[in-house]
Structure 1
């Protein structure tokens, strides 16, 4: 058996999509093994520089080594840059006397995977997206165990464990929290409620369609909470913050569990975190995948849409007319919303953080057995 304290090194960073599940797993490891020594590896340029220390964990940084997408001088320099990052990762693993490594993908994970392999330290991988990223495809090849957020994710030996998330979300009882959430967000208690969000950076096309549809939403007795994204407040013709009947806009919500509890229907992009969270809490949704990238957002949404828990609409087709023909009738049909909520909740996994923590401890203990 592994001698206490267990030493766990977690690798990931750049965006909230990597850092949020990483921190949820770290918290679950600490709950399972309170004496565990935990260190997070990131870069000096990502959101981890703020979020990891704020969560109470030590952050060590290595060089950021992105993969060039076309032939260039950066491609020629890649081997030397990667070798340097692997050396840096190895020094961190040695200093931590790591028993096990967890990686959640992104630029920082590949060097840590390679350094751990060289030292025969077991690697546990968590992949958040339905379409795996390059780092986790590399890491999964020699991993002790691979956990995935979506059943449809294709990685060798993958186990469907769900998406680790904050306990405030995974433990949310939407019905019990609705009254207080609507009060906190300045919403009416008894009106059908649409919550719109494009994520922390906003979604211009969603924002434009929603603001154009506000008169019809209000005429139908539907109130709208519009989370526009930082710096992307909806403006009127004079450039002032838009006001309209039954409409409230905020740039962000401190704790999306409030928005989830207040909503009868969520309108959002289909990032992996959003899709997993709405399934966990059983919230009906209309999902508008990003129109660019590698198509992973449409794949993230596919299982939930097929199960009946969400509607999917292409960004190019999401218009005020689509809102009038689809969202307004849905919000006026409580039974349809209830059916969608049940379908969503049936796919939801609320204990992914604990499942991943158990896999990490098991991998470390197998190494020492």
Structure 2
């Protein structure tokens, strides 16, 4: 790619795509997956990410090799407060800085994924640059509701996001996940974690910090799982501890604070017990893992909605947080894991509900908007 300087401004032959998805991993990871897909399709392109100093993007974006431009954060107060009165000033300052970034990088399009970084990006781009909106959750957030009003294209992960005219494409995921061959990696993955090479294996993951409900339920059923010949790979969270009773001759129950290699964890498992955040549902669907979803008990109920398409397709079970107990593991999870035919059918149903190609579908959508 040839870059040339014109005054103090950088120009290039290929398009410049600005992605706005800072704050949480649920916003950042789809943005980075899109960035990777754009670079595969258009190696002459450039992707620039917007973010704030305090968001995860300050670490994740540079680690993936993309340019990060910082803008002032615009957190939305949840309740009336003095902070709410200062909001218009904060929005104005953030929009001004965002427009400066657009000028400096010669932006051709803005792609927003929601959150407090996306809102100033939409407002700064309005009437100046084409906007593409992607909504990952089953219930659309405020920023994307605003952005959708000016967008050239709207994409959503699920059919009932509430965004009119949205094309349902799923969630852009890392290429290492969408191209994962679980069967081919199974032996390596089992060896990596010290799991039984042949026993049916349950993966338990409650997010990066773990989930107390899942930890208590599965560890409480450890003996029953062992006696049923089921191995367990359990990510309990870095701030939690887990002690389980070993059963001689049974498959190992492997407890770890955190999983650095989710690709190997997925390959090692025959089923997963997890929360149902949008990214989690998208990943387990893409790799074809039968799932037991336990939605967070608070919030607006979107986690249950995220899981519903997979559950309705027959690829997963949905269990309320207060109902996830050791007894539920014994009554529902053990019979599922010890029925190979049932697991195979659920895996097929899960993959049908998933969207492995969402990253490239969205990338082509963005590049088409630029072309027009």
1:65-89 deviation line (CA, Å, top 9, x unaligned): 1111111101111111111111111
Aligned to 2:289: 283
Say which of 306, 316, 323 aligns to 2:312. 306
Q: Give a deviation string over 1:271-299, Cα, whole Å, max 9, x none.
A: 11111111111110000000011111001
1:56 is aligned to 2:91: no
Q: 1:26 is paired with a residue of what secondary structure?
A: helix
Alignment partner, residue 96 of structure 2: 87
Match among 138, 147, 154 for residue 139 of structure 1: 147
Task: State the partner residue of 2:246.
Answer: 244
Structure 1 counterpart of 2:273: 267
- Determine the structure 1 residue equivalent to 2:20: 11
Cα distance in structure 1, aligned partners of 2:24 and 2:241: 22
Q: Is the 8 A contact 1:141 1:156 kept in 2?
A: no
8 Å CA contact 1:12–1:18 kept in 2: the answer is yes
Q: Distance in 2 between matches of 1:154 and 1:305?
A: 20
The alpha carbon displacement at 1:174 in A equals: 1.5
Structure 1: stretches of 5+ with no match in the other structure: 237-241
The Cα of 1:231 is off from its aligned counterpart by 2.1
1:1-369 matched pairs, under 5 angstroms: 4-119=13-128, 121-234=129-242, 236=243, 242=244, 244-245=246-247, 246-366=252-372
1: CA distance, partners of 2:165 / 2:100:
29
Cα distance in 2 for residues equivalent to 1:230 and 1:101: 36
**Runs of 4+ with >6 A deviation:** none
Say which SS state the counterpart of residue 159 (structure 2) adopts: coil
Preserved CA contact (<8 Å) 1:152 1:303: no
Cα contact 2:222–2:245 (8 A) shared by 1:
no
Per-residue CA deviations over 1:288-347 (Å, capped at 9, x if unaligned) read 000011111001001111111000000001001111100011111111111111110111
Partner Cα separation in structure 1 for residue 77 and residue 57 of structure 2: 22
What is the deviation of 1:243? 5.8
Tell me the residue number matched to 2:4.
Answer: none
1:234-255 CA-to-partner distances (Å, cap 9, x unmatched) read 1x4xxxxx56342111111222
The answer as to whether partners of 1:146 and 1:157 remain within 8 angstroms in 2 is yes
Count of matched residue pairs: 357
Contact kept, 8 Å, 1:198 with 1:227, in 2: the verdict is yes
Q: Distance in 1 between matches of 2:134 and 2:245?
A: 43
- How far apart are the structure 2 equivalents of 1:123 and 1:221? 52
CA distance in 2 between partners of 1:103 and 1:243 (Å): 47
In the alignment, the residues of structure 1 paired with residue 316 and residue 229 of structure 2 have an alpha-carbon distance, to the nearest angstrom, of 22
